[in-house]
Chain A
Amino acid sequence: MKKFLSLMLALIMVLCAVPALADVAADIEAGQAMTHEELVEKALAESGTFVAYGTTSRIKKAAAAFSEKYGIPQNSNNMKDIDIYDKIANENVDMVMIQDGAQLLGAIEHGILANFVPASVKDSISEHDQYPLAHQFTNKVFIYNVLGDDVPAIRNVWELTDPAMKDRIIFKKPTDEQVNMNFLVMLTSPEWSARLEEAYKEWKGENIDLGSYKTAGHKWIAEFLPNCVFGKSDTNIAEEISQETAEGKIGLFVLSKLRSSSVYAENLMPAQYAASAEGYEIKPFAGFMYPIYNMISTNANRPYTAMLFIEYLMSEEGFSFWSDSIGAYSGNSAIPEKEGDLPLSVWKDTLVVEDPEYILEYGLDVEDFVGPYLQ
């Protein structure tokens, strides 16, 4: 009887949910082929408050400007990706700006989120960045304090595994922000392990001895993390490393934090900036990079508004809320990086970019492996 009841309940839930999912999916299908004007018309015909959540704080400014432009009431907020998923599970959300591609692929697979590429900008987004749609890229790079005699101007990431670097590296705890963990996971991939092996040889002049480690990525993680101190937030790390009293320190944090007035930016140097200026390469990477994706929630009340907002965000006008500082790169290749910053193509070559498929497959094992090194 109990089984029968729960079966019936599940059936009812599925029957109730399917039309909503199908509706939004059909709307997106139709929306992909629409012009800007058609999207506007459809969006204005929708009712209720447009709800958008994002992992970037500037979504609030962008949504407010969008709301003013089209006269659509909005409720937007900045929250962590995990809280965004909780929100979607419990209430109607229209659109999200979210990071952690692996978790996102799972959500798409379960029909929680759906991908949409606006026809008006499709041609200027690389095919790879269209699914899931990357709105922008954020880079976390090695940045060091330039004061004192012992400046950690690294040229090879294996230098960071040296016992002499103990407590000199500041990083955000990988379990506090999944993209940091994703970076570590990526290092165990065949591609990055091979590059790390090569870099090791260059550094030590001999072949790497993996010992009990599965890959060079595992070895690097195991020797890098014990040298780290974990900061509270990227802003906090930037502020702390920029202090006069922080000579000899190096951090791995968001490049755009250099813009903040609470940071003594003149005391800091992104390792890749130095490398580009002096014409050397940091072996084999200068940090990591991850996209922030634009997605439509399948329980959206205003799916066309969500599509219009995504189109807006992918435009130069919509990206203006991020483009005023270094460290933000639009997925739309027609929008250039901020003057004084390096172009996205350079960063893509020098940074570890997350591969959601690989993380989905091997992430759990690597996370377990990382655990003891966080203690």
Chain B
Amino acid sequence: MEQTQTGKIHLSRLKGRARAWFSKPANIILLFFLVTLTVLTLYPLLSMLTETFTVHLGREERATKLSIGAFTTYHFQRVFATSANDYSWIQFYKPLLNTLAVSVTSSVFAILFGGVVAFLVTRTNLKYKKFVSAVFTFPYIMPSWTLALFWETFFKNVNIGLKTSNGIMASVFGVFMPEWFVYGFFPISLVLGLHYAPFAYILIGGILRNMDANLEEAATILKTNRSRIIWKITLPIVKPAMLSTFLLVFASSMSAYSVPVFLGSPVRYYVLSTSMKSLMNSYKGQAYIIVAVMILFGVAILMLSQKVTNSRKQFTTVTGKSGQISKINLGKANVPIAIILVIVLLLVAIVPLVTFALESVIIKAGDYSLSNMTLDFWIGTGLEKRLDQGDSTGILLNPVVWRALGTSLALAITCAVIAGTSGILVGYGVAKRRGSRLSNWVNSLSFFPYLMPSLAFGAIYLAMASKISWLHGFLLMALAGSVKYLPFASRSGVNAMLQLSGEIEEAALITGVPWWKRMLRVIFPIQKSSFLSGYLLPMVSCMRELSLFVLLVPTSDTILTTMLMQYSEKGWAQFGNAINLLIIIVVLLVNFTVNKLTGASIDKGVGG
């Protein structure tokens, strides 16, 4: 009798606790995202892992002499331990070494370039700062293949690569660059480094801008010289940001595909992502093992990154008391440094656009005379008889291009709305329940898609959707895009929420304002620009995404990027260049419009 009584009390206590737990919106949100993200990220991962033990149609079936779907360890043996014909070395170990070399170098380069520019902009009296900081994020906003394509078009010459034609540098300026400069390890690392340098600029710049001036001032009073202050005070303070950048760029470079394809293949320089893509055509199981290895590296990086973030707590960088930071006077060096920087940025951000415009109007490659130019690829009609190079109308008169642009925009907006809103909610939940296990799980799960290479992510989603007949086309692409870009939104969401003092919401809570009103009327307006950045970054990324959607599009002319890829595979260079330029212009326009209207910017999204 007594026992049942105790049981009842126990049960009612439990019920009470559960009621209290569920009465907090943060808990419901976290639980919802725990379940949803498990289904949308862990399930694909598990299904991919099972593929690494499964026999697929075609070559695998013939090689293993097993039936489709049967269990096998053949893929592992091939990837890791086949010495015949140097198979494992060629498919895995050598590309792995190349990948590591490229990823480390591009990360170092991104930190050096981005960090130095961030320092110059925030801590010196450099001229043309406005231009520098406006243009510096261009390379990140533009599709990554843009710089690679430009690099090749600009520097190729008859002594290297295919050894058949001269690019602008050789034909116009008569300068023939050596092969190591144009193809392979060096340009791949450099181009990736340039593409991701904005990460460093934003992360390191954010800290430099907000750091407590007292430390440096104290050192100055003690008559410490400038270089010693930089080495002993400034650098240690930005060290965590440098490490975070290193890890972010490393993970991104590792899964980059288009840059190594453009700049590596002509000299037979292969990395893990190119090896994975080529195996995906014939040996899916082996391709998925390579993806798994890349994810393992990613997870290791994530863990390291968390350690680094924790160590960041030791530095109180933002105190609110920080007064005017003393700016270094560059003196006579100011103008030369500023000019060099402006030229480099013009080369990296503006010249590619001019090159694409030029390449989209010439009929035969390499001939830049007026007689070889036409606007047909933009506004021509009846081209099948005159040019026979792809479509019959110029891209601006082609309804298919406009439809693809519409779909690309609709997709980008959908992904941005889903990912951005989820990011805010995840941020709210994680910040409110900071330190709890649930909060940590959701935080890590929401970052996990960042570590999955886009191509593999798309492949897994396609396989997953095969069991759900209505989930095809736009819906599937929107789902995959939303999950893939959630990390950007959740990062900025979490950071924005963590900056908010709990008292702000509590004041509203005491007066009985319901949760949704608190979110809409109190929290959102305060951190508006950070939240909107959480929408902007997925949108921009989605507009220029190729690998993720390449398998998910119903037809290759569904969105602009897959259309571009098809044109470039077919070798319809002029249409390809025109569409590439169109994509870049649209992305820049979207970025600037949102920026001007709302104050949101990529900086806040990346850096958080």
A-B contact pairs, 23 of them (CB 8 A): A57-B570, A79-B566, A80-B281, A86-B551, A90-B472, A170-B162, A231-B162, A233-B568, A233-B569, A233-B571, A239-B364, A240-B365, A243-B165, A243-B365, A245-B165, A257-B571, A260-B388, A262-B365, A262-B389, A262-B573, A262-B574, A371-B91, A375-B268
Whether B84 sits at the interface, judged by CB under 8 Å, is yes
Known: A106-B58, A176-B278. A229 touches B86 (CB 8 A): no
A344 to chain B, nearest CB (A): 22
Kindly list chain B residues whose C-beta atoms are within 8 Å of the C-beta of A262.
363-365, 387, 389, 571, 573-574
Is there a chain A Cβ closer than 8 Å to B166's Cβ?
Answer: yes
Known A-B contacts: A89-B466, A232-B571. Give 20 more (CB < 8 A).
Answer: A75-B554, A77-B554, A85-B57, A91-B472, A175-B278, A178-B282, A230-B265, A239-B573, A245-B165, A245-B166, A246-B164, A259-B388, A260-B571, A261-B387, A264-B364, A368-B85, A369-B85, A372-B85, A374-B268, A375-B90
Chain B neighbourhood of A364, CB < 8 A: 59, 62-63
**Contact check: which of A110, A240, A325, A371 meets B165 at CB < 8 Å?**
A240
In the complex, which residue of chain B has the Cβ closest to the Cβ of A230? B265
Of A229, A360, A371, which contacts B87 at CB under 8 A? Answer: A371
- Select which of A83, A107, A233, A238 is within 8 A of B57 by beta carbon: A107
Known interface pairs A77-B557, A89-B466. Does A229 touch B161 (Cβ–Cβ under 8 Å)?
yes
In the complex, what's the smallest C-beta–C-beta distance from A366 to chain B, in angstroms? 11
**Smallest CB separation, B541 vs chain A (Å):** 23
Q: Is B437 an interface residue (CB 8 A)?
A: no
Contact residues in B for A112 (Cβ distance below 8 Å): 57
CA distance A292 to B68 in the complex (A): 26
Inter-chain CA distance A235–B551, complex, in Å, is 23
Q: Which residues of A contact B (CB under 8 A)?
A: 57, 75-80, 82-83, 85-86, 89-91, 103, 106-107, 110, 112, 167, 170, 173, 175-176, 178, 229-236, 238-241, 243, 245-246, 249, 257, 259-264, 325, 360, 363-364, 367-369, 371-372, 374-375
- In the complex formed, the residue of A with least CB distance to B262 is A232
Chain B nearest CB, measured from A77 CB (Å): 4
Chain A residues lying within 8 Å of B282, measured Cβ to Cβ, are: 82, 175, 178
B57, A110: Cβ atoms under 8 Å?
yes
Interface flag for B496 (CB, 8 Å): no
B596 within 8 A of A: no
Residue of B nearest to A233 (CB): B571
Q: Which residues from chain B contact A259 at a C-beta distance below 8 Å?
A: 388
Contacts of B58 in A (CB 8 A): 85, 103, 106
How far, in angstroms, from A85 to B364 measured CA to CA in the complex? 35
Instruction: Give the most central of A112, A173, A368: most B CB within 10 Å.
Output: A368
Tell me the nearest residue of chain A to B94, going by C-beta. A375
Chain B residues with Cβ below 8 Å from A230 are 265-266, 268
Contacts of A231 in B (CB 8 A): 162
List, in ascending order, chain B residues with CB within 8 A of A368's CB: 84-85, 87
The answer to whether B266 touches A235 (Cβ under 8 A) is no
Give the distance in Å from the alpha carbon of A170 to the alpha carbon of B163 in the complex: 10
Chain A proximity mask over B48-88: 1 for CB below 8 Å, otherwise 0 = 00000000011101110000100000000000000011110
Q: How close is A300's CB to chain B, nearest CB, in angstroms?
A: 15
For the complex, what is the distance from the CA of A368 to the CA of B387, rounded to whole Å? 41
CA–CA, A231 to B162, complex, Å?
7
A178 to B266, CA, bound (A): 19
A residues in contact with B164, CB < 8 Å: 170, 240-241, 243, 245-246, 249
Considering the complex, give the chain B residue whose CB is closest to the CB of A83. Answer: B551
**Residue B158 lies at the interface, judged by CB distance under 8 Å to chain A:** yes
Measured CB to CB, the closest approach of chain A to B184, in angstroms, equals: 13
Query: Are A232 and B265 within 8 A (Cβ)?
Result: yes
Pick the residue among B90, B466, B568 that contacts A372 (CB under 8 A): B90
Q: How far is the CA of A77 from the CA of B465 in the complex (A)?
A: 21
**Which chain B residues border A57 with CB–CB below 8 Å?**
390, 570
Most-contacted residue by chain A among B163, B463, B472 (CB, 10 A): B163
Cα of A29 to Cα of B456 in the assembled complex, Å: 40
- B555 part of interface (Cβ distance < 8 Å): yes
What 5 A-B pairs have minimum CB-CB distances, sorted nearest first?
A235-B571, A77-B555, A246-B164, A240-B164, A90-B466
Whether, in the assembled complex, B138 has its beta carbon less than 8 Å from a beta carbon of chain A, the answer is no
Q: Does B366 contact A (CB under 8 A)?
A: yes
Residues of B10-60 at the interface with A, using a CB-CB cut-off of 8 Å, are 57-59
